[in-house]
Amino acid sequence: MVDSQQNKGYRVISMFDRLMDGQGINKKQEAFTHNVGEKTIQRDLNEIRDYIDKAKLNCHLEYVRVEKVYRLTNTGKSILSKEQVLAIVKILIESRALLKSEMSDIIDKLISIVAADKQEFIHNIILNEKHLYVDLNHKKSLLHLIWGISEAIQKKKIIKIDYLRECETIPREKILKPLAVIFSEYYFYLIAYDDNKHEKDSPIVYRVDRIQHFLELNQKFQIPYAERFQEGEFRKRIQFMHAGELMRIKFVFKGASPQAVLDRLPTAKIVSKKDGQCLFEAEVFGRGIKMWLLSQGANIEVLEPIELREEIIETIQSMQQNYRYI
């Protein structure tokens, strides 16, 4: 058997790439594939182990006797723990954010991070959820689009999109100043200013899966630091990604868990408590809050603004009309 430096280089790099990708290396199979002896493969593995040590990578090469393969096991504090991986996988599955094939690939790669003897345990825990995972109706792969838009945001480049609203057949061209990509309730959203409007206007929300075409233009935009968009503050004040003017609401909560209100509305504050009821105040964007308030049924009474209170009264009256006859 002739083991040239070229053959050896390819063999070692191939094994290292697969190990870094979470795959296992079977010494006997590897020797057969490359037409070399098992001792040669063992020397290659020793060299890979030495390189990992010298490069101070957060992993080490170990032999998994049950599988009869060599695998990389992460050791650094920067690596996710098995508990963290399981929690992230559960959140990902519940989000339904990606195509089933993409979600499955990401989950498998996340699980490959943990020690080999714990991987099967996690796989078994999420097996049923993973199998029954259901794609969203748009059936689109969004990863490249999200990345492209995010690059434009970082470079402060104006973008052009063709946007197709639901129930429309012809997309509309939009020239935008992109501010952020946010995920909420199953969907990714682009938050942007219309290029023809002033930055003091409310930002506009676009569903990423409805973008038919995206192009980064060779034109930059600037927003004064004091007026910069802050995703965290925006998230606190918006419900169901319905943008609009900022408003302050006041409502009485009569339910059993005021904590649930505080978790749902991060800007909410309890002004007073009386007879088991809590008076809340909160800052919110737009009319998305109306959907949540109505979902609470008789547990909530909106006091201010009076326009929102009247809207809710009208909605409740319309709902009553729907149930007049059976």
Higher pLDDT, 255 or 246: 255
Task: Summarize pLDDT for 158-170 with one digit per residue, the tens.
Answer: 999 999 998 889 9
CATH 1.10.10 in the chain: give the residue spans: 5-74
Contacts of residue 61, Cβ cutoff 8 Å, sequence gap at least 6? 19, 45, 48, 49, 52, 70, 71, 72, 73
Nearest to 45 by CA among 23, 71, 76: 71
Q: Please give the pLDDT value at position 301.
A: 93
Q: Is the pLDDT of residue 94 over 70?
A: yes
* pLDDT higher at 239 or 121: 121
Domain 246-322: which CATH class?
Answer: alpha beta
Residues 58-67 have pLDDT tens digits of 778 889 888 8
Q: Which of 49-58, 228-237, 244-253 has the lowest mean pLDDT?
A: 228-237
- pLDDT at residue 54, rounded to an integer: 84
CB-CB contact of 101 with 57 (8 Å): no
> What's the whole-number mean pLDDT along residues 109-127?
83
**Least confident piece of the model among 178-192, 194-208, 262-276:** 194-208
Alpha helices in the chain (DSSP H): 5-20, 27-34, 38-55, 82-95, 100-111, 116-131, 143-155, 231-237, 258-264, 288-295, 306-322
Is pLDDT above 70 for 77? no
Give per-residue pLDDT as tens, 21-43: 778 899 999 999 988 999 999 99
- Alpha-carbon dihedral sign for residues 184, 189, 194, 195: positive
Pick the CATH number of 5-74 from 1.10.3470, 3.30.2310, 1.10.10, 1.20.960: 1.10.10
Q: Are 48 and 15 in contact (CB under 8 A)?
A: yes
For residue 22, what are the contacts with CB-CB under 8 A and spacing of at least 6?
A: 71, 72, 108, 109, 112, 113
Tokens of 246: 């900022």
Largest CA distance in the chain: 88
204, 243 Cβ separation under 8 angstroms: yes
Distance CA 229, CA 193 (A): 10
Alpha carbon distance 299, 220 (integer Å): 48
For the stretch 197-238, pLDDT in tens is 665 567 888 999 999 999 999 999 887 766 677 766 666 666
> Any idea which residue has 């490359």 for tokens?
34
Q: What is the pLDDT of residue 1?
A: 47
Please give the Cα distance from 161 to 158 (Å, whole number): 10
With 90 as the cut, is the pLDDT of residue 151 above it?
A: yes
Mean pLDDT across the chain:
86
Half-sphere exposure for 186 (CA within 13 Å, toward CB): 9
Residues above pLDDT 70, as percent of the chain: 89
Task: Indicate the fold that domain 143-229 takes in CATH.
Answer: SH3 type barrels. (2.30.30)
pTM of the shown model:
0.66
Model pLDDT, residue 237: 63
The pLDDT of residue 279 is above 50: yes
Lowest-pLDDT range, 70-74, 90-94, 205-209? 70-74
pLDDT band for position 269 (cuts 50, 70, 90):
very high
Where are the domain boundaries for CATH 3.30.70 in the chain?
A: 246-322
Rg (CA), the chain: 27
